Each structure stands twice: as C-alpha cells, then as structure tokens.
A and B are shown apart, each in its own frame.
Chain A
Amino acid sequence: MSLTNPHLKFASQAVAKPYFVFALMLFVGQILFGLIMGLQYVVGDFLFPLIPFNVARMVHTNLLIVWLLFGFMGAAYYLIPEEADRELHSPKLALLLFWVFAIAGVLTILGYLLVPYAGLARLTGNELLPTMGREFLEQPTITKAGIVVVALGFLYNIGMTLLKGRKTAISMVMMTGLIGLAVFFLFSFYNPENLARDKYYWWWVVHLWVEGVWELIMGSMLAFVLIKITGVDREVIEKWLYVIIAMALITGIIGTGHHFFWIGAPGVWLWLGSIFSAMEPLPFFAMVLFAFNMVNRRRREHPNRAAALWAIGTTVTAFLGAGVWGFLHTLAPVNYYTHGSQITAAHGHLAFYGAYAMIVMTMISYAMPRLRGIGEAPDARAQTVEVWGFWLMTLSMVAITLFLTAAGVVQVWLQRLPEDGAAMSFMNTMDQLAVFFWLRLVAGVLFFIGLGCYLFSFRQRGRLPVAAAVTA
C-alpha cells in the first residue's frame, strides 16, 4: 500500500484496488463464456462435449455474481472510510479476504470446467447438505460456506470502521444493504425436499438480492459518486437516497410475488405480485430524476466526465432494463405466456448490466484514477476511450435486449399462444428464432469490443500523473 498517494483521503482505501481489478478480470471471463453460449444458441454442438451449455451458463452467471460482489466490496472499502472519516478498521483483513475469495472463486470455476457436475457434487460431499444444482446457486456447499466466512469478515471490518467513525446516511444504507445481502444468502443453504417450497425460498436469495437489498447498495454508491462529482449538498442527496430506497423496498418486498405465480404458491400472489411489482419501476425512475437533477444543479465542474456519464448511464439503463423491461412481463396475465421465454432473458441482461454492472463501473471510473495515484480524473484521451467503451457496451446490450425481445415475442406467438396440438414444440420454435440469435451474437461481439475499449482506457503508459504535471 502506498503511503504517498496524495489522491486518497485515507491510505487504507487502497485495498479497494485489487477488488476492482479482479472484478474486471472476471467480467472479461463472463463475457467470453457469454459469447460461447451465444454461439451455442445457433450452432448447438459448438464445443460439445468439452464445454456443454449448462457448464458455460453456470460459469457465465456465477462470474457475473462474483465480479459484482468484488465490485461491491471494493466500493465499500473505498466509500466507507471516506464516509466514516477514518481509516479502515483492518486493511490486512481486507487483503487476506481478497485472496481467500479470489482463490475460492477461481477453484470453483475450475471445478465447473474440469469436473463433471455430478463428480463435483460427490467430491464436495453435496449429499451431506444438498444445496447444489439450483440456478445461480450451483456453487458446492463448501464454496457457499466460504462465501459466508468472507462476508462475515468483510462486514466485521467495515462495521467496525463505521462504529468508530462518522455515521452518514450513505454509509448506513450501504451497510444495511450489505448485511441484507449476507442474511438473505443464508437461504441458499435451505433446500427443502418439496420443490414448490424450494423455489419459494430460492427467491428469498435471488429476488430479495437484486430487487431488494442490492438496490440499497446501488443507491448508496450512486449517492456517493454524485456528491463527489457534483458538489451538491449532502442533505439534498441523502434525502433523495432515502426516498429511492423507500420506494425500492416498499414495492420490491411484496413484489417478490411476481415470481410466485406458477411455482405452486397460492393464488393471492397473482394479485399482490402483479400490483406491487408493477410499481417496481418507480425507484429506478426516481434514480434517473435524481442523477439528472444533481448533475444539473452541480456546484463544480468535475474533470472526470466519464464518471458522470457512467452515473447518469447506469440510472437510465437500469430504468429501461429493470423498470420498463421488467414491467413488460410482470403482470400475471401477461407473464402466463412469457414466463421462462426469451423475454425473461432479454430483461435479465439489460437489468443486470444497467443496474449492477454499470454502477460498479461508475464507482471504478470515479475511484480508479485516485487509487492509481493519477489524480481526480484520467487524462482527456483516456476518458475519450472510456466513453467509447461506455457507448459500445451500452448500445450493444440494448441491441442484445431488443433481439432477445423479438425472439421472445415470436416464441410466445408460436409456442405459447396456440392450443395443444397447434402449438409448435420448443426445439422447432428455437429453429425459427435463429436469425435473432445470430444478430444477438453479433451484438455480443460488439459488446466484447466495447469491453476491450473500456479496459484499454486504463492504459496510461508514458503519461504523467496530473499532480506531477502541475508542479513540473
């Protein structure tokens, strides 16, 4: 850790850097496996049996979750000391946990790739406490236990920092979100024999994460960056933050019911799930208003324009992906036909990218120049490349969403709407959708190029740090 980095308020914030770097490395892996799957959608036996689709998907989704967790942790290690106005309780613990989590994560991914899944289950003693083989929670039980240990150490570290320091709304909301994340993850250990019950509590992890406590984390990261880049009064920003997260939880908790329509849960959820989840776009709309308002009322011109673009971009894209695309199929009478179709996939992609991938990149864009000792912002050329990366990735993801939505509409038309006998089979329907899947693959390649631009923007070789240039 450099003690001489003048761009950090507290030296211990530097532990955020490895978290951000590793998050972006995993992001690259996620996209590579996404491309493999995109090709398997049209060339079904591509890489078979070396990397069957289920393995590629597991790697794709698990890498997403893990890189976002690294991003959240990095954000917390950067943000909490600054908000608490004191050094992190234990930078050493933060670095130790980084290595524990990174090594456990890599081993798990290697396990997916090198061992047949049933073998991995045997190897890790899944039968003793079966938790594997459920979507997104495919990790061996021992990995899940490792995640809990890392989360506890992490919460202890930032919790102690917070207890001893200044308590702001931003840091308290972040802390609440992170504690919620850890608490709801515990439901991944509960795997009842009754599938209906299993699915019901599975959503306590998945929905109460992404449509619940993760929104608290996102809101606090957004509020933090907006204070820094706009200079708007903290009172105003924190009031907005409370309004946004109030809306998120008031709509989102009962909104869980939109996942309970068709899994064996009682009929009351058809109404409650529809009504409350129909209001779930509200917090995302409020975030858009929030970001634009604060940037318009800015009291300073921050040199990091790329970070401002990410901050506004994440709210707009999250509103489109989570809000609009979520609303499209959230009402029970619509969802009856769209549930588990390509419409679901379309929504999932834009929502995760817009809300969570982009908020982490917002934070990285703001914090990384300081962490690297460059200054408040990278130079103009680096920012231009970063902005190219922003637009290429974002527009490609919008394109992926549109192509998958078109595929989904046709799928519903052919496979879901007709009566028994007239409806087309799943496999035949997929053949009809090939053109959309090819276009989606092209958009995926463009996304990968955008990611390349984004990563290339970190290259600063031969250019002087801003501070040094001033004194020269």
Chain B
Amino acid sequence: MSETFTKGMARNIYFGGSVFFFLVFLALTYHSEQTFPERSNEAAITESVVRGKLVWEQNNCIGCHTLLGEGAYFAPELGNVYVRRGGEAGFKPYLHAWLKAQPLGVPGRRAMPQFNLSEDEVNDLADFLKWTSQINTNDWPPNKEG
C-alpha cells in the first residue's frame, strides 16, 4: 500500500466505520422490533406455545431438525410441519401418534429417540409448531417439503 495512505488513516476508517455501521445496525434492530409483533403474530403466543418452545428446547430437537432452516440438517424441517402433516384437523393427532411410535426401528434408517413426553407436553409442542408455521417468513420454505 502506498505511503500516502498511513496507518492512522486505516485506523480511523476502522473505528469510524465500525461505530457508524453498528449504530445503523441498532437502528435496523429497532425497526425489526417494531415489526415482530405483527410478522410473528405475537398475540397468538399462548402459554401453551411458550411451554411448547421449552419442550422443543429441552429435548434438543434442533440437534437433528431444522426450524425455519436453522439447526442440524439430519432430519426434516419442522417450521412448516404443521402444514405438511395435517394442519388444523390432523396435526395434533399426527404428532401424538408419531412421537409414540419412535424409534421406528427400521434397520439402517435414521432413528429418532423416544422422548417419553406427556400428553400435555405433546399438546404444547403441537401448539408451538402451529404458531411457528404462521410466522411471516417471506414465503420460505419454497414448498411444503421444507
């Protein structure tokens, strides 16, 4: 680099640039905060949804599955599983039956552990996944296979 561009100038760009863009980032975060209630349908977060999120977390579901595309890539996306597996009429019974049937025990197939969840916990988890499927995700995933 040329001699006219000094270390001091480089340092000022670093300080000034980082501080400026971090302030922009904070402003954008403020904007995001304003939109979360509507985009995530915050009014629909019931106590059951909150408990369901805890069930999701305390069984480390993210260790195999993705949720809105984030997580492990070993098992199916669950952000839209409510839509994929029965919706309003069918999802809850489906989830109960599916979790009870684990592990399927098919030789060589990826196996899901038996988590021994109570009926209430499965209901909460279903409510959490239903609420999650209704977040405005800019139309992601591209199709219902997730």
Contact = CB atoms under 8 A, between A and B. Distances in A.
Q: Do A and B bind each other?
A: yes
B43 to A, nearest CB: 11
B63 to A, nearest CB: 3
B145 to A, nearest CB: 4
A132 B57 contact: yes
Interface in B97-131: 103, 106-111, 113, 115, 131
A428 to B, nearest CB: 9
A45 B135 CA distance: 34
Contact of B76 (A118, A235, A256, A426): A426
A254 B138 contact: no
Interface residues of B, number: 72
Contacts of A133: 56-62
Contacts of A260: 32
Contact of B75 (A117, A198, A199, A426): A426
A238 interface: yes
A44 to B, nearest CB: 3
Interface string A32-46: 000001001101110
A267 B138 contact: yes
A48 B111 contact: yes
A194 B76 CA distance: 22
Contacts of A127: 54
Given A54-B60, A194-B42, A336 B70 contact: no
A57 B146 CA distance: 21
A193 B111 contact: no
Contact of A426 (B60, B71, B146): B146
A417 B13 CA distance: 43
A419 interface: yes
Interface string A98-135: 00000000000000000001100110001100101111
Contacts of A135: 62-63, 70-72
Interface residues of A, number: 83
Interface in A50-81: 52-55, 57-58
Contacts of A245: 14
Interface in A223-281: 235-236, 238-240, 242-243, 245-246, 249-250, 253-254, 256-257, 260-270, 272
B36 A196 contact: yes
Nearest to B57: A133
Contacts of B6: 239
B142 A54 contact: no
A286 to B, nearest CB: 10
A87 interface: no
A194 B40 contact: yes
Interface in B1-38: 1, 5-7, 10-11, 13-14, 17-18, 21-22, 24-25, 28-29, 31-33, 35-36
Contacts of B144: 420, 423
A213 B21 CA distance: 14
A6 interface: no
Nearest to B11: A242
A49 interface: yes
B135 to A, nearest CB: 4
Interface of A: 37, 40-41, 43-45, 48-49, 52-55, 57-58, 117-118, 121-122, 126-127, 130, 132-135, 138, 169, 191, 193-200, 235-236, 238-240, 242-243, 245-246, 249-250, 253-254, 256-257, 260-270, 272, 336-337, 339-342, 344-345, 415-420, 423-427, 430
Given A133-B62, A193-B53, 13 more contacts: A54-B113, A58-B60, A118-B58, A121-B58, A135-B63, A196-B40, A250-B21, A253-B25, A254-B25, A416-B143, A420-B145, A423-B145, A426-B76
26 contacts: A45-B103, A49-B103, A52-B113, A53-B110, A54-B64, A118-B59, A133-B56, A135-B63, A193-B50, A194-B40, A197-B40, A200-B29, A243-B10, A246-B18, A249-B18, A250-B21, A254-B28, A263-B68, A264-B39, A264-B136, A266-B31, A272-B28, A415-B145, A416-B143, A420-B145, A426-B145
